[in-house]
Structure 1
Amino acid sequence: MKRRDFLKSTTALGGAALFGTLAPARLMAQETPVKGGTLIWGHSETTQNLDRHKTGTASTSRVLQNVHAGLITVDKDFNLIPDLAESFEQSEDGLTYTFKLRPGAKFHNGKDVTSADVKYSFERCADPATGATNKPVFNDMTGIETPDDLTVIVKMGKVNAPFLARIAEHGAGVIMPEGSGDQQGTHPIGAGPFKFVRREFGNEVELERFDDYWGGPAYLDKVIAKEITEPTVRLTGLQTGELHMINDIPADRIASVEGDSKYQVLTWFPLNWDFVNLNHEFEPFKDPKVRQAFDLMIDKQALLEGALWGQGKVTASPSFPSSPTYNHDLKQRPQDLAKAQQLLTEAGYPPGKLEVVFKVTTNYPYHVESAQIMLEWFQAAGVKTKIEQLTWADWLSQCWVNKDFQITMMNFFTLWEPDFLYYSLWNSTGAFNYRHINDKVIDDLTEKARVTVDPMARADIYKQVQQRVFDETHDILLWFRNGSIGAQQSVGGLDGIVHPNGSNLNFHKVWLKA
């Protein structure tokens, strides 16, 4: 196999983001960016553990995207391009990766980025004691050689087709200073365009320009992310001028903000996808009939209109919409309350016998609204339902870490790389499998995909995974949600702020008028 063919195989399954544009009537005129100023951003979520190797939350990675850098990254079409590594290649057999580091690239502590830091970072992720969410990325790694300060050679025991694409995302690919792991959770040190200054938990995070960033210093002096999960409060902050920009404009207010010449509006599709989670350790949900019954209770389009005001598109596949892995043959089950009642009765739960607790986080207010709508359908099907609203920290503790829930709802922010998506979420050992799903068919398929180099063959495997998830109703897929940013006219550079993955924000080229 030629190296260029192997390189292609690791990225061909990504697909390009389906981005929208800035509202044309409110595009800032082309001006020369100016340096200086502090941008106040109304962040729609709260950050958690700041250790990028350990955190699994998009709320945190959205901020840390500006603090860290990896060996490689992706362009808008998900082609792999250099970052801290100025070049990279694989051997003909696909078992050896060689990275040449960029001379003079520095960490925020003033030290040069060297091969020792890469070795430390990758081995830290691979060490089970670390608790890295992306440990499986390095399962096939057999060793790392550092013949000089600027050369890294990664050895694999077997072909790992998605390896390069996986380290192009910061979760697995972030490079940290050697020995810095103990402090990353509270004071992250990276090699990105902004330095971490401070965090007031649940309130705000402050970042400061790093003048020695290899890609050139940012325009802004600082970015302060104010964590405001309540949509109307966030919008009010924009309208009063307290905030320069916000992400996640309230879905029911986007049209009015777009119609106001005081603001710039950026929209794109998709931001994330949402699904309903059933805990497979909860006795009723061990039965696929019960799981399918809950699927049949939900009118997905009506839920989209009611909770998101139509700001998205229903889907039966979680694959990136433009990816060749997207299974277009899958169609969501239409709502059928009578059939749902029949399945529940067959499973031993006639009307009134089954009781469930639906845990949702207030970090996503539209999840609370969704649960309230679904509660009506569940009760109409004879299921007694109670809703528990949790803070983001409590949801992560109870549902994500301790797997202490019966039914819940969560979103994931695109996960454009299919191994990251399907292995992490549905393999029995996947880092994001908080639903106790244990399906040998899926385990075998996701392992097979990792050693399948041909991109179309891999795509077919992932389509089979989706079919299995659907057939067994392991989860209930709902929709892709639109992304949005509202900003004052004084903010420049918004056309490049959204990362290709549709979730993270890059402030490197954002600026404020003098």
Structure 2
Amino acid sequence: MKRRDFLKTTSALMGGTILYGLGQPALAQSEPVKGGTLIWGHSETTQNLDMHQTGTASTGRVLQNVHDSIVTVDENLTVIPNLAESFEQSEDGLTYTFKLRSGVKFHNGKNMTSADVKFSFDRCRNPETGAVNFEVFNAVESIETPDDLTVVVTLDAVNAPFLSRLAENGAGVIMPEGSGDVQGTTPIGCGPFKFVRREFGNEVELERFDDYWGGPAYLDRVIAREITEPTVRLTGLRTGELHMINDIPADRIAEIEGDDSLQVVSWFPLNWDFVNFNHEFEPFKDPKVREAFDYMIDKEVLLEGALWGQGATTASPSYPTSASYNSDLGQRPQDIEKAKALLAEAGYGPGELSVVFKVTTNYPYHVESAQIMLEWFRLAGVDASIEQLTWSDWLSQVWVDKDFQISMMNFFTLWEPDFLYYSLWNTEGAFNYRKISHPKVDELTAQARVTVDPTERAAIYKQVQQVIHDDTLDIVLWFRNGTIGAQPNVQGLDTIVHPNGSNLRFHKVWLAEA
């Protein structure tokens, strides 16, 4: 299955460390220059622009520059103040007091107060909002605003990850009071850039917000052009039509790294990928069938075939530097005969099981992965076919309607283990589009929420990973590398990647004079 000399860059990335690399800049770093419009070739299309409602990292990557959260994380993923100047937690773990920064302005000119925080939190936890992170606030008993710059959140039960869940814009974003109705089309925040316009499926335009509390950005504007086809994106960079792109085509990275006229930023990991089963599709109700599919896949060959080796295989989706990462897990090796035997035990002989693999063209390497896997499925006696969907159709059919049999997806920014395991594998999890309902997982993820000691919590999440693996609730494949290609005049690239490895921040990026 190998298709020539694949790129072998992952060996230096292992060992539990997130690594960032900046390729040799074609232009030496200069003093920041104010002005100019940066054209970014965005590898994905944005969807609903409401930061509470969107579940896509593609949209969040743009809105990261429009919104700010009440707290954030540093390079070590430690929670630190942001829109809150400081925060305190009571000894019993039930009360959180946030002191807000004075003078923070929203893009509509309004000063941020505690009323905006209360509005944002109440909106996120209101079931009618349809917020993907609603369960962050499940234990909230009351939200009080004793003055304009103080917010007191009281819980009715300990929720150990509460503060860290607020460090992501999804739950922790602060919107102006009463702005909910317009957030989906014209988002209003207090970030370094304000939203100007969006041509759906084409581009999003952002403009510098001069009254940003953290100091104005250097760039006048950022235009995110949505170009999902990798070759077209790379051509735009080479011709100078684009200042930068994310997701350099995996098979062209070495070529771009060797081009002295371009810059390359790379880091590990950007995201993790997994194969999904619909647990209400009759064959996949049987764990033997799910395990059989796991044995059909050669993860290393798939990594090379679809990603040209730009990543590292893993059996755990936990952030590789997280204390929760279960390093004892190992992926099942490819064993077609074992897969056939498991299918036979489940009552499926050769040709008696048919599956449709729904995959989105938003991620071209998912299409390639599915094409490779289908050959293995057929070797194991499974009648398999592929249905390629646009990103909007995949979200509608697979994510929302849960109308699929087998699929593939990747997730970004899930560095916080509660966000990862509760959202994706708990029966009530907001990201549980696979209809998984596993009593042990539900028990463990609920137990972790009331376990304050971080070592004990990490041990619980390791148990969750073991269950996911043993019962093949999904098939975790790999971590994928992140890459950015840029013109030589794009400066400040060492600041652009958020500590979570997914979001891109343009606040300190500038265009040097040629």
On whether the aligned pair clears a TM of 0.5, the verdict is yes
- SS for the counterpart of 1:21 is strand
CA distances 1:21-70 after superposition (whole Å, capped 9, x unpaired): 101x3264231000000000000000000000000000000000000011
**Cα distance in 2 between the residues matched to 1:510 and 1:17:** 25
Which residue matches 2:21? 21
**Cα distance in 2 between the residues matched to 1:273 and 1:27:** 31
Q: Would the alpha carbon gap of residues 430 and 194 (structure 1) be closer, same or farther in structure 2, given more than 3 Å must change?
A: same
Contact preservation (8 Å) 1:19, 1:269: yes
**Cα distance in 1 between the residues matched to 2:466 and 2:361:** 31
**Cα distance in 2 between the residues matched to 1:37 and 1:320:** 36
Which residue matches 2:3? none
- SS for the counterpart of 1:164 is helix
Between the aligned residues of both structures, percent identity stands at 76
Q: How does 1:20-419 map to 2 (within 5 A)?
A: 20-23=20-23, 25-26=24-25, 28-419=27-418
**Cα distance in 2 between the residues matched to 1:416 and 1:160:** 17
**Cα distance in 2 between the residues matched to 1:238 and 1:286:** 46
Which residue matches 1:437? 436
Contact preservation (8 Å) 1:40, 1:223: yes
Which residue matches 2:11? none
CA distances 1:412-447 after superposition (whole Å, capped 9, x unpaired): 014000000000000000000000100010000000
Contact preservation (8 Å) 2:33, 2:512: yes
Any runs of at least 4 consecutive aligned residues in structure 1 with deviations exceeding 3 A, and if so which?
none
The gaps in structure 2 that reach 5 residues or longer are 1-14
Contact preservation (8 Å) 1:320, 1:414: no
- SS for the counterpart of 1:272 is strand
**Cα distance in 1 between the residues matched to 2:206 and 2:279:** 41
Letter in 2 for 1:429: E
The gaps in structure 1 that reach 5 residues or longer are 1-14
> In the alignment, is residue 501 of structure 1 matched against residue 497 of structure 2?
no
Letter in 2 for 1:192: G
**Cα distance in 2 between the residues matched to 1:58 and 1:19:** 21
CA distances 1:65-121 after superposition (whole Å, capped 9, x unpaired): 000011111111111111111111111111110011100000000000100000000
What TM-score, normalized to structure 1? 0.96
Contact preservation (8 Å) 1:16, 1:78: no
- SS for the counterpart of 1:237 is helix
Deviation at 1:346, TM superposition (A): 1.1
What TM-score, normalized to structure 2? 0.96
**Cα distance in 1 between the residues matched to 2:371 and 2:310:** 18
Q: Would the alpha carbon gap of residues 27 and 173 (structure 1) be closer, same or farther in structure 2, given more than 3 Å must change?
A: farther
**Cα distance in 1 between the residues matched to 2:261 and 2:163:** 43
CA distances 1:212-251 after superposition (whole Å, capped 9, x unpaired): 0000000000000000000000000000000000000000
- SS for the counterpart of 1:106 is coil
RMSD across aligned C-alpha pairs, in angstroms? 1.0
**Cα distance in 2 between the residues matched to 1:281 and 1:484:** 37
**Cα distance in 1 between the residues matched to 2:38 and 2:81:** 28
CA distances 1:342-377 after superposition (whole Å, capped 9, x unpaired): 110111110101000000000000000000000000
- SS for the counterpart of 2:269 is strand
CA distances 1:107-155 after superposition (whole Å, capped 9, x unpaired): 0000001000000000111111111000110000000110111000001
